[in-house]
Amino acid sequence: MPLEIERKFLVSNEDWRGPWPRVEIRQGYLTASDATTVRVRLRGDAAFLTVKGECGGPVRAEYEYAIPVAHATEMLRLCQPPLVEKVRHLIPVDGLIWEVDEFRGDNAGLVLAEIELREAGQPITLPAWIGREVTDDVRYRNSYLARHPFRSWRAAAA
């Protein structure tokens, strides 16, 4: 079974900014329960359909398939608004790639950093711009942000 092993953190300051590669992402959810999500994503000039299983800490089942951009564009119209929009910055640190997501639209003001790992217990060095870990906080899942945008709860998160 394909697995995603990922840890997620708030970003504590602007020191991560630099000339890193970046990509625009728009995504929506065809289903978004706590147990399973089906996501449609436009990532730059590519498109994907992703099924994710129930979360167990940083490890969950993930099946991702490339699909035609035209199909993804049509499927995004089937998703409950708002769509999740963000710019993803790819930052190399100690042989790993940190993905820093700067959210737009209804989730503007939220900046999260994610790191994908080879195994759950893999040691990592946290860059100085990494803040509190939110891997197990459901509010910071993109599927949750699609149903409960950050603008509606940001004051309570501070």
Q: Which residue has the tokens 């399973």?
A: 36
**In contact, 146 and 80? CB cutoff 8 Å:** yes
Q: Is residue 29 annotated as part of the catalytic site, yes or no?
A: yes
- What are the C-alpha distances in Å from 69 to residues 18, 47, 121? 29, 5, 36
Peptide bond between residue 82 and the one before it cis (omega within 30 degrees of 0) = yes
Whole-angstrom distance, CA of residue 34 vs CA of residue 114: 20
Let me know the angle formed at the C-alpha of 102 by 61 and 143, rounded to the nearest 5 degrees: 35
Q: Specify burial of residue 36 (Cβ count, 10 A radius: 0-12, 13-18, 19+).
A: middle
Residue numbers annotated as active site: 29
